[in-house]
Structure 1
């Protein structure tokens, strides 16, 4: 397993986590066994936005004795007291639901307390004006909540929450379908969505990724908006390459599903390569580096994707991006203008021109 550090903390988070949206129907024994297998294989991050209440007690049993190795996302606004999922911004209902979730998980603290599924500006206002945010912050002062997060599908709302300066983690829907305007949650243009990812990294707000497979639509040529199926590994790598992303949270239904997803860790570069997107991404996506590194290997030894990423992040206000760039072994000024990357780029980026631009910006 690989791990990425939470910028606003010391937590090392596994790049593959576990979503609970699909596992409720598996039965308590299979749910518990799946979580135990995940822990055994190095997964330490679990999202608890479940479709029903069933996973909670099974998770509680699975983590008994190893709670300190586990990070939970618990959602302030997801309500399971009836046994089925419900959504609310009503403070008293949220208090009851959070208490139930803690009891079911047999824990007395929440690693990441999430303002749950705020997709409309009015939802965010309700959470702020209705006392929900104050409640989460009170629990944080008391040590019950370690970090505050937000789950959303809407860049505008996510940016407004970032403006409040409260977030350590954003749960956001990232996949090529949504980023290129396909699907129910394809909110915001490609540039707007990428700007959000860059802002998160620049401000030290990590991203946990939901809907990496677009609810399975991207995995089937018949339902993929591109008319061509992608693989789970391509979708996972696509999300992990986005600025700010710490972990991807596939929803699994069983240990069999989990084993398949874990195969990503041993997958070859070819199996993870999503450069095929360049053949059917919209025209507006052309000319924008997505850091896929399909242009590798560079004859001059440049990490072209990373050079582009640090440049974009520096322009987005990331104070550390310049020092990260300066610590690279090769810089844009080392480009020999051979054109190898220009010919290889599936998104038609003129990287030789970009290298000149980046050299001028950083001075090397």
Structure 2
């Protein structure tokens, strides 16, 4: 299977569903970094997050991408500082300006596809970037065309909602994985309903999501460290994130070409390899009855795409004006449900889909 792409709602950019994070690759050495980036581009990856653990990837990326700048997108963070050679976090405007100048020079580019307010996890962080002039600086660069789109990274739904209220961003970098969504882990902020509501709000308002920490720092991949006591696979975690409303791309950190080749195997993985319905056996009680669009209930005897019908319904109720039109274009709609109960029996999250289909039919009138 070839790479798949999703369109940025507030733009024309077609973004690869698998992007590349840089948090782990800095220790690989210049030759391996360049070879990994070249393999990524040759495989259709076009989205690169530059919140790195150290400065090493920047010049290596610049060399690897020479002549291909118009084919890739950089997500660059206003607040990540590399003057020491290692990652540092700052809200000081002068330090940020110097860091951005260095990053652009190292990457051999004169523009930023996505300029991010970096790691805004607390209300005080948001106040700092406003009061210190960082937001004004990004907006100035946006007006000048240096920054094509404004975004932000955060782990906190409450703070993200504050930014969404300000109608500032086109892209959100957010941590999405089953552990965080179900109350497990350092960044498991907000309950499952609050987090799902955030994803739906982003989709409804045309704010794309790029996903960080899809594997919870690797904890979900090992039964000894998984909060569920059972390991998930990389492919299950990637599919879980991609199924959430608003998500455009998942950004796993890789250390080498070998890591990247394994991640890219997701594109050819079978539905069974991607199926994360096992979560239903250890998700918390308050997640029971919530459709997560996993489509484990398939196949429907009359051909309903139950997950997609649920997603369009949830998005329409969240205010997505396009969701009704998408629903109307479905070949089979909720009104075609024959209430056979097949989906009710198969749903790992104990959703009474036959009841949901009647509810959705009444909402859309067919």
TM-score scaled by structure 1?
1.00
Shift of 1:83: 0.5
Q: Indicate the residue corresponding to 1:46 in structure 2.
A: 48
Shift of 1:341: 0.1
Moved over 2 A (4+): none
Shift of 1:10: 0.2
Instruction: Specify which of 116, 139, 142 is matched with residue 141 of structure 2.
Output: 139
Shift of 1:140: 0.6
Shift of 1:129: 1.8
Count of residue pairs the alignment pairs up = 364
Cα distance per residue 1:125-159 (max 9 Å; x no partner): 11112111110010011110000000000000111
Separation in structure 2 between the aligned mates of residue 187 and residue 49 of structure 1, nearest angstrom = 21
Separation in structure 2 between the aligned mates of residue 147 and residue 157 of structure 1, nearest angstrom = 19
Instruction: Specify which of 6, 10, 13 is matched with residue 11 of structure 1.
Output: 13
Instruction: Specify which of 115, 118, 128 is matched with residue 116 of structure 1.
Output: 118
1:235-274 correspondence to structure 2 within 5 Å? 235-274=237-276
Separation in structure 1 between the aligned mates of residue 159 and residue 94 of structure 2, nearest angstrom = 24
Separation in structure 1 between the aligned mates of residue 68 and residue 336 of structure 2, nearest angstrom = 49
Shift of 1:81: 1.2
Contiguous gaps of at least 5 residues in structure 1: none
Greater Cα offset, 297-306 or 125-134: 125-134
Instruction: Specify which of 29, 33, 55 is matched with residue 31 of structure 1.
Output: 33
Q: Indicate the residue corresponding to 1:353 in structure 2.
A: 355
Shift of 1:66: 0.4
Q: Indicate the residue corresponding to 1:61 in structure 2.
A: 63
1:182-193 correspondence to structure 2 within 5 Å? 182-193=184-195
Separation in structure 1 between the aligned mates of residue 124 and residue 44 of structure 2, nearest angstrom = 39
Separation in structure 2 between the aligned mates of residue 139 and residue 360 of structure 1, nearest angstrom = 47
Q: Secondary structure of 1:336's match?
A: coil
Cα distance per residue 1:175-198 (max 9 Å; x no partner): 000000000000000000000000
Q: Indicate the residue corresponding to 1:292 in structure 2.
A: 294
Q: Secondary structure of 2:20's match?
A: coil
Q: Indicate the residue corresponding to 1:332 in structure 2.
A: 334
Q: Indicate the residue corresponding to 1:151 in structure 2.
A: 153
Cα distance per residue 1:233-289 (max 9 Å; x no partner): 000000000000000000000000000000000000000000000000000000000
Q: Indicate the residue corresponding to 1:305 in structure 2.
A: 307
Separation in structure 1 between the aligned mates of residue 200 and residue 178 of structure 2, nearest angstrom = 16
Instruction: Specify which of 198, 201, 210 is matched with residue 200 of structure 2.
Output: 198
Cα distance per residue 1:280-326 (max 9 Å; x no partner): 00000000000000000100110000000000000000011111111
Cα distance per residue 1:173-231 (max 9 Å; x no partner): 00000000000000000000000000000000000000000000000000000000000
Q: Indicate the residue corresponding to 1:221 in structure 2.
A: 223
TM-score scaled by structure 2?
0.99
Q: Secondary structure of 2:128's match?
A: helix
Alignment RMSD (CA, Å) = 0.4
Separation in structure 2 between the aligned mates of residue 298 and residue 137 of structure 1, nearest angstrom = 48
Cα distance per residue 1:98-124 (max 9 Å; x no partner): 000000001000000000001000000
